[in-house]
Each structure stands twice: as structure tokens, then as C-alpha cells.
Amino acid sequence: MTPADADLLVCPTCNGSLVFRGRTAGALIASGVLQCRGCGTAWPVCDGVPHLYDPSQVRGSDYFLRFVYDWIAPWHDLSVKFVLPVLQTESADTARNAYMERLELTRLVPRNGTPVRILEVGIGGGANLPLIERDVPSDIGNLEVWGVDLSPGMLAQCRRRVRWSSFGRRVRLMLADAHALPFPDASFDRVFHVGGIAGYRDAKLALAEMARVARPGTPIVVVDEQLDRARQNSLYHRFVFWAITIYDPNPHAPAAEIPRHAVCDESTQVSRFYYCLRFHVPETTITPPPADHANPTSKESPSMDPAASIADILTPNALAMLRTAYGNGDDMTRVLAAALPALYPPAREYVDAIGDAFYPLQGAIPGPLTAANRERCLVTLLAARGAKRNLAIHVYMALMAGIPAAEICHILLLVGAYAGVESLAGALATAKTTFETLATVAAGATCGPSDVLKALAVALPM
């Protein structure tokens, strides 16, 4: 991994952008830290491997299975290749070829100016890397394969594999938690996971993370143990399956646990002991109303996703700069209590109200909602009431609380669906103006809360 690769990474805690500070070995990072520009956390880099996970969150089944995988790492891939076929009485290659086919790597096409990126969550010893190399079209020269795992032992085996492979220069490896993947939204052209999700402490959260980092429409493939009930399974097969899944009381495909906004494409057996679940996150589309044929000046417009186009206005770098300048939230509290009423005197009563309710000062006990959930509620409420500048302020605060721009847009779409066409159009227009204003402020010399609110006051006059 090179220092430039840090541009794709985000802080697992706050989603802030990271910058490498440390020693390099040639073009590759060797030791040091990946420093978060947002919360300031320094994530260690040891022997060229970033450690992008919170050790305090490795608990329960994650902690136990991490120990197990570290112990069996030297023999894991050999066991899968030679022992597993004997246990399930069929070749492991059958399953591998089946799930790789569903990943649709052969359909990848080059991207102008941007690498084609594939993510394997739980890459283990890297047994799937030769299959990726086999299936990716030869005309994709700019390809990156990213692999994360929580087991240092398994990742060490993978590093040995890529060190002796000509394909290894395309591989980026790191220690990371599948429940908090250190990547921005919609970063990867393919995402897959094989053989471990049944042991995760929260499979639903891990599936949501895979969906989050996948580009809309891309196949997300998950493979793990499930006994094929459609076959004749002898007592031997049932006993062996129980033995290798003893840590899981109910081994099954978690189709019911994929995110609600995702679409399940299929859930099928790829071998006697393994299922393959494939799903994707669809492009959000809004169908325009029928053209008014009585009005010759009206034109049909193609289906589009205003939420996606609006969310794309604010780049990750601009958002990272705004979050860094935002501070810990105290700056925003002071600005709300002073700068905003000075810019717009009628806002004082509003500022006092939300300050008393949501931003207690001088050691008062805070409300029960987290900052992010509080802003979700306020964005929803203000959008339903047709607010403009006040809505813009809370869109900004929601972004600072870590809510993705796309989610904010989808909140506004849902509000419009229930509150009416005027609320929908007004809320999306306010979001567009807000994102454009924030992008402009982030490009300036300073971009703290006072700068943002002054710019919003100009962009959205009351």
C-alpha cells in the first residue's frame, strides 16, 4: 500500500479522511500512523499493514474466532483445498467457481481516470486472488484488489501469497473490522465475502457495511455454511457439518438480514455445505410525470435520481475539511448562540429553543438522542415544515454528525413523499443550495461554523 492509497480510506470511528505520517520503504508505507483529519485518531501502521479497527470492539464471537483463525492460519487453505472435499464428498473448486461466476468479474469494464476496485471482506489467506486474476478482463489495466481481515495470522499468510505473485502489486491489505469498514460510501465495483459471516457478532451490520461501500448496482456476494436440504445427506454428512459449524446454532444464508434498501438477487447452494447469497443496492430512480401532450412546449425528461446528483456535489475531501474545521461541536454551539442571531435577529427564539432542547451547556444532562439521530429527526421535521435556512443549517450539522449526504437526500425524498410535492421540491432545492454553499466554503481559506452560517445566510435569505 502506498501513501496515496490512504485517499480511499476513512476513519472507522468518524468517517474522516486519513493522511499517512511515517516511514516508507520505496513507494510503500512501512511504519507510522494513518491520522484522521476529523477526530484526530492515529491508526497504527506496522510492517506495512494498517490497523484500522478498534480493539475494544473485538469481542464475543469475533474475539474467539480471531484467536481460532490465528491458530489455524498456516493450515487453513490446505485444509479447505484437500480436507473439505473429503468431508463433503465433492470438490471445493465447484463451490469456488460457482460463487466467482455470481460475482460477474468478467463483466467489469475499464473506468476513465478511476481504478476498478474489488473488495474481499475477510480475505483470509488470499485463496480467491488467483480466481480474481483469472476472471478479470485483460483490458482492465488499472485494477485494485482490497482485502481486509481481522486475523493477523491469516493476513500474514495472504501477504506471503501476494509477495510471490505478479498479481500482488494490485493488492492492498489491512487489518479491519467488517462491522466498520474503513472506506467511503460507494467505493467498490465488486464486494464479496467467503466463509466467516456466520461467526460475526452482528451479521446484519456487516452486510449493511458491505452494501454501503459497494457502488449502486454492483453484485455483493456472501458465501458461508448451510447444509443443502435438497440433497440426500447421510448421517456422516450431518455429523461432519455439525462439527465444522459447532460455533453456530443455526447455520443459514442471512437473506433476511440484508439492508432493507437492498435487493436480494438469489440465495442458492453452491455445494453440499455452502450457500451463495447475492444482493445489490439499486440505483434510486424517480419516474417523471407523463408529458403534457396538450402543451407543445413540454418535454419528456429521462428518469433520474436527484438525490444522487445532489449528494455528489460535496466531495469527500471538502467534507473532511469541513468536519476538521467544525471542531468538537462546541464551536457550533457558540455560533448558534451568537453569530446566527446577529445575522438574522428573528432566529434568536429558534436558536434558544433548540439550544435548550438539544445543546445543553454548562454541564447540563444531554438528551437521550445521539447527535446523529438528533439531526436526522430535525432534518425530517424541518423538511416537512418547508423550512429553508433552518433546514440548511441542520443539513450541515447532520453532515458533521457523520450522516452521509446521500442519506440526507433520501430523508428529504421520504419527507416529500408524505408531505407533498412542494415539500419535496423545496427540500431538495435547499439541500442542493446547502451542498453547493458548503463546497464553496470548503474551497476557501477558512471553513469553520461561522464561515458556513454566514455563507448560508447569503445563499438562503429569509
Q: Which residue has the higher pLDDT, 312 or 120?
A: 120
Tell me the percentage of the chain whose pLDDT exceeds 90: 39
- What confidence tier does 144 reach under pLDDT thresholds 50, 70, 90? very high
Q: Which residues pair with 144 in a beta bridge?
A: 117
- Evaluate if residue 219 carries a pLDDT over 90: yes
The 3-state DSSP class for residue 180 equals coil
Residue type, 197: I
pLDDT (average), residues 6-20: 90
Cβ pair 293, 300 in contact under 8 A: no
Q: What is the pLDDT of residue 306?
A: 53
Separation of alpha carbons 225 and 84, rounded Å? 12
Q: What is the pLDDT of residue 331?
A: 64
42 to 13, 139, 176, 250, 379: CA distances (angstroms): 11, 38, 14, 39, 32
Q: What sign has the CA pseudo-torsion 424, 427, 432, 435? A: negative
Give the number of other CB atoms < 10 A from CB of residue 334. 14
Task: Tell me the pLDDT tens digit for each residue of 88-102.
Answer: 777 778 889 999 999
- Cell 491469516, located at residue: 154
- Evaluate if residue 190 carries a pLDDT over 60: yes
Q: In the structure grid, which three cell numbers stand for residue 76, read together?
A: 487453513
Cβ pair 12, 183 in contact under 8 A: no
- Evaluate if residue 151 carries a pLDDT over 90: yes
- Cell 429527526, located at residue: 377
Q: What is the pLDDT of residue 349?
A: 53
144 to 140, 192, 215: CA distances (angstroms): 10, 14, 15
Q: In the structure grid, which three cell numbers stand for residue 258, read together?
A: 440484508
Which distant-in-sequence residues (6+ apart) come within 8 Å of 215 by Cβ? 186, 187, 188, 189
Which distant-in-sequence residues (6+ apart) come within 8 Å of 269 by Cβ? 226, 228, 230, 275, 276
Separation of alpha carbons 325 and 336, rounded Å? 16
Task: Tell me the pLDDT tens digit for each residue of 23-57.
Answer: 999 889 999 999 998 888 999 999 999 999 999 88
**Among 30, 53, 33, 51, which residue's Cα sits nearest to residue 42?**
33
- What confidence tier does 443 reach under pLDDT thresholds 50, 70, 90? confident
Q: In the structure grid, which three cell numbers stand for residue 243, read together?
A: 462439527
Q: What is the pLDDT of residue 83?
A: 78
Residue 333: how many CA atoms within 13 Å on its side-chain side?
Answer: 13
pLDDT (average), residues 399-425: 82
Provide the edge-to-edge strand list for the sheet that holds 28-36.
18-25, 28-36, 42-46, 49-52, 171-176, 143-149, 116-121, 190-194, 220-225, 274-280, 263-269
Task: Kindly state the helix (H) or strand (E) to which residue 454 belongs, with its residue range.
Answer: helix 449-459
Question: Can you give the C-alpha Rg of the chain in angstroms?
Answer: 25
Q: What is the pLDDT of residue 85?
A: 77
Rounded to two decimals, the pTM is 0.62
Cβ pair 429, 355 in contact under 8 A: no
The 3-state DSSP class for residue 234 equals coil
Give the number of other CB atoms < 10 A from CB of residue 160. 12
